[in-house]
Amino acid sequence: MITLFPSRLSRAVLCAAAVCLATPAAAQELNLYTTREPGLVQPFIDAFTKETGVKVNSIFVRDGLAERVAAEGTRSPADILMTVDFGELILLVDRGLTQPVQSSTLAQAIPAHLRGDKGDWFALSLRARVLYADKDLGISAFTYEQLADPQWKGKVCIRSGQHPYNTALVAAYLARHGEARTEAWLRGLKANLARKATGGDRDVARDIMGGICDIGIANSYYVGLMRSGAGGPDQQKWGAAIKVILPTFEGGGTQVNVSGASVARHAPNRAAAVRFLEYLVSDAAQKIYAEANFEYPVKAGAAVHPIIAALGTLKVDTLSLAEIARHRAAASRLIDKVGLDE
C-alpha cells in the first residue's frame, strides 16, 4: 500500500511519526492545528518558512480541536493551536490545553485586552460584525437593537444563529442587555427574517442582490473578498449590490471577534512555536492579515486595506471578549428557545 502514496503524502505521514520521535531541541519543524480555513493560513506559513527555514506541518480541524488535542495528551505533536473564533480559543485555555508564554514582542504588539493575562492566548486579527444593506436603501447608521424593529419585517437575512459568529453577537447582546431583553430582541429578529437563518455571510450580499432581503448581518472581511474581486467576478457584483454600515450597540461600539492562537500545553517544539507567534504580529504578517484577508490587524498602527478603511472608522465595543465568552452557552440556548434557526 505504501507505494501507492504520493511522495508528499508519505513524507507527511512519516513526518507525523518522526515529529514525535524528534527531540524538541533539534526541531526545525512546527505543527500547527487550526480551525481557520487552510486558504487563510497558508500565506503566513509560506512567509514564515521562507524567513526562518522552519517547516510548518498543519492540520485543519474544524470541530473537535479541543477533543483531539486532549485525547492526544502528553504525546500530542501539536505546537500551535489556532482558532477563528474567540470562544473556541478561550475553551482551549479553560480545558488546560495551552501553556503560558512570556514574550516582550507579543506583549508590545498586542493590546492588553486582546491577549490573556498569563500569555495563554493571543488575538492576531480582528473583524467586525457589520450590516450589509441594499445600496439604494436610505439609511446611514444602524444599531444591532434595530434588527428587531418591525420596520424590517421579512427583510432581514442572517446565517445560522448557532454559528460562532452569531452566537458571539448574541452573547455580547446578552452581556449588555440581560436575558429578557435579549430574548425579546431575538424574537423580533426571528419575525423579521426573510429566509431561513442559514448559508454563509456572503449569501447575505447575494440574497440582497437577489431581492430576497434588504439588510443582513455579516463579517467585515467578506466585503473586501467580494469587492476586491478575490472571489471572482460574480462576487464582485454581489459586493457592488450592497452598502456597508458599521452598526453599534445603543450607547456602545461595534461588535468584533478575533482570530487567535495559543502555544499547546505539550508542544514538542515550543521555541519554534513562540517564534511563529512572534512572526504573526510582525509588520510583514500583520500586513498579510490586512491585505490578503481584509481583516483588521491587531497591532496598533498597522494599516487596514483601503476597501475596509472605506467602510468607516471602526469604534470597537468596550465589552471585554472574556465577558462575552462567558455568555456564549446561554446565548446558544436562547437562540434555541426562540427557534431562530427553525
Shortest distance (Å) from residue 61 CB to another protein: 6
| Selected range binding another protein among 104-112, 119-127, 210-218, 258-266, rule: CB under 8 A | 210-218
Shortest distance (Å) from residue 323 CB to another protein: 17
| Selected range binding another protein among 116-124, 139-147, 162-170, 273-281, rule: CB under 8 A | 162-170
* Residue 252 contacts another protein per CB under 8 A: no
User: What is the DSSP secondary-structure string of 303-342?
Assistant: PPPHHHHTT----B--S-HHHHHHTHHHHHHHHHHHTTT-
* Residue 266 contacts another protein per CB under 8 A: no
For β-strands 55-60 and 29-34, DSSP reports them as parallel
Per-residue CA distances from 308 to 130, 135, 237, 239, 246 (Å)? 11, 17, 17, 12, 11
Applying the rule CB under 8 A, the residues between 24 and 83 that interact with another protein are 31, 33, 37-40, 57-64, 66-68, 71-73, 75-77
- Number of helical H runs and strand E runs in the chain: 15, 10
* Residue 339: count of CB within 10 angstroms of its CB: 12
The length of the chain in residues reads 342
| Residue 284 phi, psi dihedral angles, 5° rounding | -60, -45
Applying the rule CB under 8 A, the residues between 190 and 209 that interact with another protein are 195-203, 206-207, 209
Alpha helices in 22-154 (DSSP H): 38-52, 65-72, 86-94, 104-109
Our CA dihedral for 144, 145, 146, 148, rounded to 10 degrees, sits at 110
* Residue 220 contacts another protein per CB under 8 A: no
- Contact track, another protein, 80-119, x by CB under 8 A: -----------x----------------------------
* Residue 240 contacts another protein per CB under 8 A: no
- Give the integer Cα–Cα distance in Å for 209 and 2: 51
* Residue 305 contacts another protein per CB under 8 A: no
Contacts (Cβ under 8 Å, ≥6 apart) of 333: none
> Would you say 107 or 191 has its CB closer to another protein?
191
> Would you say 66 or 133 has its CB closer to another protein?
66
| Selected range binding another protein among 108-116, 139-147, 229-237, 257-265, rule: CB under 8 A | 229-237
Shortest distance (Å) from residue 222 CB to another protein: 7
